[in-house]
Chain A
């Protein structure tokens, strides 16, 4: 049993987008604040802070998660992935990100980081989703700009292109 005292900072070691990372947090610190303020990874956005808006969605050990409903101390030893890990290179967008750009699936961009993380995770499990499934997935996010339709188009487009991409990769081998 490990007991971490309140009011004291504790060392947290974890992987962030594949790279070993560490920081310090009190037990009450949320993963959102830890990522943004201690680690400096500000791609994860903070909206409602009670799990409703989905702006802070990340993955923890392969599970999709609200970072605002996760404590920093809970990710000690875990593999955390955030929107910063989506692009294949600093000057290149991923297939999903490109689809968002092409379909104008973002305007202010506040909700985008969370939605990209949800879709990236979901499309790995369900490479051929229906529109209804994408709508159900998006019910876990709030977007006040787009009306969601361009996001659905981008998601379905990205799913098709990702499937082609994976097929091409297989034939290359």
Chain B
């Protein structure tokens, strides 16, 4: 339960971070709040040769609300976003889901972008980013690009981030105050979700995102559904997620939760 040896780089500028990433590639790993990465280091599931600490970069500790989206920098801790006064008005879904991310004691250190970089299949922030159709801002020493959440997450703890890219920020669109809802079932509040669901009303109908079941959070867009049409859609979705049994819950229980929570949330946002 001790990390394997690594060099520790305390970066002072983004350019330094990008230069080390360009040089070391996949041997380097960025550490922000460390609430996901440190357990991986301690258990040696991750063994980077170089750890780049970005938490002394003040320019990454920014929340910007411009052009219809809230952009959260890589240095913004979960606690900071949760305490950001306009959060409930501008990003209601994030305001609902973020209290479920870890505990007071981990949110004080963990970052929003770190949680998205880690891409745990039961994590709330990747789920919220997918449900809202947000973007991940990636940057190398030479170029910048933005990836839609749907293209960024590629599987269980894996993403489309290149080895030389850092996540500079993520942005969550406002969606003009669209109704949204979130619910999660976990053994203990703050533990990994057995099932987490987010629903967002859209022009066409409703979007439902489900985490904790498949290798990554999954999204479905439906027209306004109710009654047996909604039940059928939820049942198909629950089966398409290919839930597996594990120590926390059976596949069948997970499918039940997707159907039950999904129906409640879809009804809530389509009211």
- Is the C-beta of B103 less than 8 angstroms from some C-beta in chain A? yes
- Is the C-beta of A81 less than 8 angstroms from some C-beta in chain B? no
Q: Is the CB of B42 within 8 A of A27?
A: no
B contact residues around A63 at 8 Å (CB): 77, 79, 108-109
- Is the C-beta of B190 less than 8 angstroms from some C-beta in chain A? yes
Which partner residue on chain A sits nearest B5 by CB separation?
A: A6
Q: Is the CB of A30 within 8 A of B42?
A: yes
- Bound CA span A7–B4, Å: 10
Which among B5, B38, B55 is the interface contact of A26 at CB below 8 angstroms? B5
B contact residues around A170 at 8 Å (CB): none
- Bound CA span A26–B2, Å: 12
Which among B2, B3, B8, B109 is the interface contact of A66 at CB below 8 angstroms? B109
Q: Is the CB of A51 within 8 A of B6?
A: no
Q: Is the CB of A118 within 8 A of B104?
A: yes
- Is the C-beta of B231 less than 8 angstroms from some C-beta in chain A? no
B contact residues around A69 at 8 Å (CB): 34-35, 38-39, 42, 106, 109
Determine how close the nearest CB of chain A comes to the CB of B134; give it in whole angstroms. Answer: 26
Which among B16, B41, B188 is the interface contact of A1 at CB below 8 angstroms? B16
Q: Is the CB of A68 within 8 A of B42?
A: yes
Q: Is the CB of B42 within 8 A of A118?
A: no
Q: Is the CB of A136 within 8 A of B104?
A: yes
B contact residues around A49 at 8 Å (CB): 1-2, 42
Question: Interface range on chain B: under 10, 10 to 19, 20 to 34, or 35 or more?
Answer: 35 or more
Among the 9-residue stretches A70-78, A88-96, A103-111, the one with 4 or more Cβ atoms under 8 Å from chain B is: A70-78
A contact residues around B188 at 8 Å (CB): 139
- Is the C-beta of B7 less than 8 angstroms from some C-beta in chain A? yes
Binary A-proximity of B124-163 (CB < 8 A = 1, otherwise 0): 0000000000000000000000000000000000000000
Q: Is the CB of A28 within 8 A of B43?
A: no
- Bound CA span A1–B7, Å: 13
Binary B-proximity of A44-74 (CB < 8 A = 1, otherwise 0): 0000011100100100000111101111011
B contact residues around A122 at 8 Å (CB): 104
B contact residues around A150 at 8 Å (CB): none
Which partner residue on chain B sits nearest A33 by CB separation?
A: B2
Q: Is the CB of A54 within 8 A of B10?
A: no
* Contact A54-B189, Cβ < 8 Å, known A1-B12, A28-B3: no
**CB contact list, B1-30 vs A, under 8 A:** 1-13, 16, 20
Which partner residue on chain A sits nearest B38 by CB separation?
A: A69
* Contact A51-B5, Cβ < 8 Å, known A2-B10, A70-B38: no
A contact residues around B106 at 8 Å (CB): 51, 66, 69, 140
Q: Is the CB of B104 within 8 A of A74?
A: no
Determine how close the nearest CB of chain A comes to the CB of B49; give it in whole angstroms. Answer: 8
Q: Is the CB of A3 within 8 A of B108?
A: no
- Is the C-beta of B256 less than 8 angstroms from some C-beta in chain A? no
A contact residues around B104 at 8 Å (CB): 64, 118, 122, 136-137, 140
Determine how close the nearest CB of chain A comes to the CB of B205; give it in whole angstroms. Answer: 34
Q: Is the CB of A73 within 8 A of B35?
A: no
Q: Is the CB of B109 within 8 A of A136?
A: no
- Bound CA span A63–B33, Å: 11
Binary A-proximity of B178-200 (CB < 8 A = 1, otherwise 0): 00000000001110000000000
- Is the C-beta of A171 less than 8 angstroms from some C-beta in chain B? no
B residues neighboring A (CB under 8 Å):
1-13, 16, 20, 34-35, 38-39, 41-43, 49, 51, 53, 55, 77, 79, 102-106, 108-109, 188-190
Given contacts A28-B2, A50-B38, A140-B104, 10 further A-B contacts (CB under 8 A): A2-B10, A54-B105, A64-B105, A69-B34, A69-B42, A73-B8, A122-B104, A136-B104, A140-B102, A141-B105
13 pairs from A and B in contact (CB 8 Å cutoff): A2-B9, A3-B9, A6-B49, A28-B4, A50-B42, A63-B109, A70-B34, A70-B38, A71-B8, A122-B104, A139-B103, A140-B102, A140-B104
